[in-house]
Structure 1
Amino acid sequence: MNQITNAPDALLTLAEMLAAAAGDYMSARQLAFFRARLCQERDTLLAAASETTRHLQDFVTTPDPADRASLEEDHTLELRVRDRERKQLHKIDEALARIENGRYGWCEESGDPIGISRLLARPTATCCVEVQNQHESLRKRCGE
């Protein structure tokens, strides 16, 4: 390993996250890793939203009804995607707040660790796999 990786303030690598001992769960360095990952995802989503705003402001009218309908459909689809991203931004902000208040990485219902691999796959996760499976089973039974 190089000195940069071993520096106390350096972010952990993905390999280091996966190889971490159970006793290191949600250490300051792990929290810094997830904070950086969440901030990077937030910045990417904000840049996409900004691009959409610019794109919609550059709307070109066309006399052909078929072309106009196609453009409007494209814009509608783009706005739907941005709406999903807006919801994701809210989840990211909530996850960052959990990092700050010390609740990040812990299941909101059971209090158990969510797990590094689950958080790597879904950094905004609020429940461990077992609780999430219970929620999904309940939704299926209720017909949602």
Structure 2
Amino acid sequence: MTETHAYNAEPYSFEPYQAGSDEEYMNPAQEAHFREILLAWKRSLMEEVERTVHHMQDEATNFPDPNDRATQESEFSLELRTRDRERKLIKKIDEALERLDNHEYGYCEACGVEIGIRRLEARPTATLCIDCKTLDEIREKQRG
């Protein structure tokens, strides 16, 4: 199954975790599953950063035409903004990996309940359960 995350258009594949009926939440097998997902996602982002650096080095040209130069600068600016968002995402991935190391991954930071396997597969860096995230978004909307 191919997943695409809102943060990155690069798809990566993983098999959805099939939990047994009496399986404990965030057992070592589940932790390993999410570590694999997070590391694959981070690797994909890091490769994209590397490609951008090489692309910008290879494509950097001093165009005599101001329109061509402006177009190139605009393209580079867009790429850099995208890489900046991905840099922030890599930080979130690293934080999720740290929570995994501390056996705190998969639990809501606000109320402590299980976030859930399917939600974590959809958003591996999630730190809030769906209820707390919904309340957070409502509060954010009210603040404007």
Q: Output the aligned Cα RMSD.
A: 1.4
Deviation string 1:31-64 (CA, Å, 9 cap, x unpaired) is 1010000000000100110111111222111111
TM-score (norm 1): 0.86
1:42 is matched with 42
Query: For residue 106 of structure 2, what is the aligned residue in structure 1?
Result: 105
Aligned length: 130
1:85 aligned partner: 86
Specify the alignment match of 1:8 in structure 2. Answer: none
Which amino acid letter does the alignment assign opposite residue 91 of structure 2? H
Where structure 1 has 5 or more consecutive residues not aligned to the other structure, the ranges are 1-11
Structure with the greater relative contact order (CA < 8 A, sep ≥ 6): 1 or 2?
A: 2
- DSSP 3-state at the match of 2:105: coil
Within 5 Å, give how 1:47-62 maps onto structure 2.
47-58=47-58, 59-62=60-63
From the CA coordinates, give the structure whose radius of gyration is larger. Answer: 1
Higher helix share: 1
Aligned to 2:8: none
Structure having the higher strand fraction is 2
